[in-house]
Structure 1
Amino acid sequence: MANIALFPGSFDPFTKGHEDIVRRGLQLFDEVIIGIGRNASKQRYFALEQMTAWIEETFRDTPQVRVVAYDDLTANVARKLGARFLLRGLRNTTDFEYENGIAQVNRYVYEEVETVFLITSPHLAPISSSIIRDLHRYGQPVEAFLPYSIELRDESKESRTTT
């Protein structure tokens, strides 16, 4: 039986910190599935389809990684995908407090799932998706924080600045 981990998140955007967690997770798991969850209470900054394409491009040479989008409880998705592990990154103690509660609920929904936390690599710890969105929104370069290029391909930036 393969050890499959689901790495869930909104990934808006998917950062070098996220990439680092996935690549390190591959040292522990046979397959890592990046699950982009839909959150009805949040408006995405980057289109889901575009983010999926960027993440797939990032891992195009890594067949043990795949990307799925979902609109369900993470634990239910893990069960459906045959993932017995949830992979999560922790940047700081605040992340731990938040993630601990989620891990407990996921275990309640799907008893066989284990959440595995990896501590973010120190040089990537300051990176957060919300900071990157703010920088991008106001025209600052964000390439240093992302494992793919968005500046030339992101048409959403133009649509936000002209409306």
Structure 2
Amino acid sequence: MKKIAFSGTLDPITNGHMWVIQEARALADEVVVMISENPFKKPQFSASERKAIVEKSVMAQGWTNVSVVLVKNDYTARTAKRLGIDYLIRGIRNTADFDYENLIQQANVEVLQGAKTIFVMPPRDLGSVSSSFVRALQGPVGWHWNVEKFLPEPAYKAWIVDWLGREWRSLWIQSDVDTSARANEDKWFQYLAGGSAYGSPQRHYHNLNHLVHGLTEIAAWAATTNANRNDISTIKKAFWFHDVVYDDVKQGISNEEASARLWLESGLDIDNAAEVADLIRATDHLQQNEIAHPLKDIMIGVDLAILGQPNEVYDQYARDVRNEYRSIEEETYRTNRKTVMMYFQHKAGSEELFHDAYFNDLYNQQALVNFEREIESLS
């Protein structure tokens, strides 16, 4: 078989879709992924954005015989036939899928004189993976860790950058009336989410995942405690900047102080700039007892919430931290890391790690379990 096509909205492309494309590659010399613009759907990404995401996902696999095209104002089966493609390939996960796809393939052949359809069944671990399933996971604390399991890396990164973009824009109130303010906001988002800061490939822990986790922790805290809007806004702005400067080389000041100064230089919130800067400084755990701020306990709770996550998440966090400090020799790292963990363990043992009751109740007990496991692994 020379050509076979795989079609769909692909919003986003999932590992299930990638499996079907791989099956198609085993059947044909060339695979064409056809992205449809369905007027009855409101996708998160535009058709051109979806095309770029699929191309990056395919490229990351090294699949040189896969191309991506957009289908506009036509049926995919008829477009495929016009492109010299005789067969479409579709994944069937259950009987409902089969009934639906069977009707579609009959219409393709009998009504449209389009390409015929080949059905394949995915393995059990991909049997429930769909774009709608992935979209339904978005929202609660930890949603990004779950979504990451079901998407190819380029699709996952596009997904969380889009989510972060919406979170970022919700912080600013002058964008609709002040074009210079909007331009400044966009500039700083590109910096923070791009390769110079949290989006840098050198950021293994203090990265985009860290931002998503912190912002969802803030949202959960706010919903549970009925926090006021100004406090929520202040904490979110501080969290966006609190780890933006993260460098092994100290320029005579802490990373937190450098991050606070960068925030002040941004000009993003002139009226509340000093309060946000002080809250950023409060995340300096080595100096926290010397920094006063009414929201400090909440900010520290958000920053340390990773320590009380389930074993799998915490273990990945510990690996990411090691990678972030990969320039440090192993024995030195293990000694220093163990010292820090024992300090945290002591704090958690006396319930002084999380000073806010909301975070203490949620995470202190699991944090103790995690500290004990990591300390043992470092010994």
**Fold similarity call, TM over 0.5:** yes
- 1:74 is aligned to 76
- 1:110 is aligned to 113
Residue pair 2:12, 2:155 contacting (<8 A) in 1 also: no
In 2, the alpha carbon distance for the partners of 1:39 and 1:126 equals: 23
Matching of residues 55-66 of structure 1 within 5 Å: 55-60=54-59, 61-66=62-67
Shift of 1:159: 4.8
Shift of 1:153: 3.9
In 2, the alpha carbon distance for the partners of 1:17 and 1:152 equals: 17
Matching of residues 1-163 of structure 1 within 5 Å: 3-60=2-59, 61-71=62-72, 72-108=74-110, 109-110=112-113, 113-136=115-138, 140-141=143-144, 142-150=147-155, 152-154=157-159, 155-161=161-167, 162=170
In 2, the alpha carbon distance for the partners of 1:75 and 1:114 equals: 8
State the one-letter code of the partner of 1:73. Y
**Aligned-pair Cα RMSD in Å:** 1.9
Shift of 1:3: 2.0
In 2, the alpha carbon distance for the partners of 1:152 and 1:62 equals: 20
Between Structure 1 and Structure 2, the one with more strand by share is 1
3-state SS of 2:137 partner: helix
Shift of 1:91: 0.5
Pick closer, same or farther for the CA change 1:117–1:158 going to 2, 3 Å. Answer: same
Of 87-96 and 120-129, the range deviating more from structure 2: 120-129
Between Structure 1 and Structure 2, the one with more helix by share is 2
Shift of 1:125: 0.5
Shift of 1:160: 4.2
In 2, the alpha carbon distance for the partners of 1:122 and 1:75 equals: 28
Pick closer, same or farther for the CA change 1:7–1:137 going to 2, 3 Å. Answer: farther
Report the identity percentage: 34
Residue pair 1:45, 1:133 contacting (<8 A) in 2 also: no
Q: Unaligned 5+ residue runs, structure 1?
A: none
- 1:52-88 Cα shifts (integer Å, max 9, x gaps): 1121112112121011111211122111211100110
Q: Unaligned 5+ residue runs, structure 2?
A: 172-379
In 1, the alpha carbon distance for the partners of 2:76 and 2:16 equals: 21
**Normalized against structure 1, the TM-score is what?**
0.89
In 1, the alpha carbon distance for the partners of 2:136 and 2:55 equals: 24
| Max Rg structure | 2
3-state SS of 2:17 partner: helix
Of 54-63 and 90-99, the range deviating more from structure 2: 54-63
Residue pair 2:34, 2:71 contacting (<8 A) in 1 also: yes
In 1, the alpha carbon distance for the partners of 2:9 and 2:108 equals: 16
Shift of 1:136: 2.7
3-state SS of 1:86 partner: strand
Shift of 1:156: 3.0
Residue pair 2:36, 2:47 contacting (<8 A) in 1 also: no
- 2:377 is aligned to none
In 2, the alpha carbon distance for the partners of 1:103 and 1:152 equals: 34
- 1:80-115 Cα shifts (integer Å, max 9, x gaps): 21110011000011100000000001102126x221
In 2, the alpha carbon distance for the partners of 1:87 and 1:148 equals: 23
Shift of 1:134: 1.9
In 1, the alpha carbon distance for the partners of 2:33 and 2:140 equals: 28
Residue pair 1:31, 1:64 contacting (<8 A) in 2 also: yes
Pick closer, same or farther for the CA change 1:18–1:103 going to 2, 3 Å. Answer: same
In 1, the alpha carbon distance for the partners of 2:65 and 2:152 equals: 18
State the one-letter code of the partner of 2:43. R
Of 94-103 and 120-129, the range deviating more from structure 2: 120-129
